[in-house]
Amino acid sequence: MLSCRDNKKTNEQKKVIQVAQPEIHKELYGFWVGDFYSEEELEYDGDMTDAVRKLNINIKKITTDTVIAQSVVSGNSRPLLGKLSDDGGKISFVLDEPGTEKYDGKFEITLVGDTLIGKWNAYRTELKWPERQFKLIKKAFAYNANLMLPSESSYVDWSDHKMIKRVDTAEDGEIDTLEANPFYRSASDQIFKLNASTTVLKEEDVKNLRKLDLQIIKNTIFARHGYAFKKQTFRNFFDPVAWYVPVKSNVDHDLTPIENKNIKLLDRFTKYAEDNYDAFGR
């Protein structure tokens, strides 16, 4: 008899534990996307190619005692767990990354109007940039094969350059070798004309393209699917694009037959293509 009572009591306790907490503030669910930056980096006089990064916080579930979310930045996807507080209509979050990776930290966020504003602090305070700030706007993500890079932007790979010395001939016939200057890889306007998600490309379409052209055309396919780029070159190209939302670290199973066919063609020509290096002021 005592055993039966004990079992009944244990089962009742389990039922109480398994009661789901009611979800609240469902209007906040979804992707919140914007710039992730450090004030110190913005004041830094050195290489600025990675000073501002795109951050996506995906809020998945909110209950009275738990917030479940995910952060995506620089190609890294990290789970977030924390709590929401509602102080007279002022909503704020504290969200923690697991702490198992070098760049994990804590997000402190406040909802201001339609914007999430906050800061991130690394658990490891010895990092070069242990604090970052951000402003995020809610943005829907949907695959659209027709999306293209904005043609008003220039596409120069600031992360890859080579030093070239210029040689000048003086009036007296002597040759002067001037100081070496950096020359950077640049893309042609073909990246605005070829869509590898909607059109089956032919060899004649790509055989004369620069290596950077081929790489950008290929990676625009991945950007349309929300791929979170790890390589700085492609983050520099796609992070500023308004329609780009970094969502996942693998999109292989999302690619269409046309895209898969074009990727194989682009990879084949990229292997032997050359780049065009130009001098640019920054």
Domains of the chain: 13-138 (2.40.128.120), 156-278 (no CATH)
pLDDT at residue 21, rounded to an integer: 86
Higher-pLDDT residue of 62, 16: 62
Query: For the packed helices 211-224 and 257-270, what is the interaxial angle rounded to 10 degrees?
Result: 160
- pLDDT band at 110; cut points 50, 70, 90: very high
Cβ-based neighbours of 201, under 8 Å, separated by 6 or more: 194, 262, 265, 266
Contacts of 278 (CB under 8 A, 6+ apart): 156, 183, 184, 186
pLDDT value of residue 48: 47
- Tokens describing residue 46: 């050195």
- Cα–Cα distance, 225 to 245 (Å, whole number): 9
Query: Predicted confidence band at 212 (pLDDT cuts at 50, 70, 90)?
Result: very high
Distances (CA, A) of 82 to 17, 50, 93, 98, 195: 20, 28, 7, 11, 41
Main-chain phi, psi angles of 248, to 5 degrees? -145, 160
The answer for 75, left when phi > 0, alpha when psi is -120 to 50, beta otherwise, is left
Tokens of 66: 């738990």
Q: Which pLDDT band, with edges at 50, 70 and 90, does 161 fall under?
A: confident
Q: What is the DSSP string of 33-102?
A: EEEEE-HHHHT-SS--TTSEEEEEEEEEEEBSS-EEEEEEETTEEEEEEEEEEEETTEEEEEEE--S-ST
pLDDT interval class at 177 (50, 70, 90)? low
Tokens of 73: 């930045």
pTM of this structure = 0.84
Show Cβ contacts of residue 126 under 8 Å, excluding neighbours closer than 6 positions. none
Residue 41 has pLDDT above 80, yes or no: no
Residue whose pair of structure tokens reads 């079992």 in the numeric block: 7
Tell me which of 44-48, 122-126, 154-158, 223-227 is least confident: 44-48
Other CB atoms within 10 A of residue 238 CB: 21
The beta strands (E) that lie in the chain are given as 30-37, 52-62, 67-73, 76-87, 90-96, 105-112, 115-122, 131-138, 156-164, 167-169, 175-177, 181-186, 277-278
Predicted pLDDT of residue 169: 58
The tokens for 128 are: 């070069």
Tokens of 241: 């694009």
